């Protein structure tokens, strides 16, 4: 059975592990994507919004 919380936890753990190793330009790309996905840009798939909500406080 699909467990959304478990899936989100896995995404967050991977993100936290990768973030220190990202170059500044990659961090900027992630920031822009998360900003867009929260609803500021209708061209982004709204299904990404839960991930953006999870990370937006980091920016």
The pLDDT of residue 49: 67
With 0-12 CB in 10 A as exposed, 13-18 as middle and 19+ as buried, what is 5? exposed
Per-residue pLDDT tens, the chain, 59 aa: give them: 455 556 667 777 887 888 888 888 787 887 777 666 655 545 556 676 677 677 766 55
pTM of structure: 0.36
The C-alpha atoms of residue 22 and residue 20 are separated, in whole angstroms, by 6
């Amino acid at each position: 059975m699909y467990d959304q919380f478990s899936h989100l936890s896995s995404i967050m753990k991977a993100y936290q592990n990768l973030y220190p190793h990202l170059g500044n330009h990659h961090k900027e790309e992630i920031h822009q994507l998360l900003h867009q996905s929260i609803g500021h840009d209708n061209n982004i798939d709204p299904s990404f919004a839960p991930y953006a909500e999870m990370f937006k406080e980091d920016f």
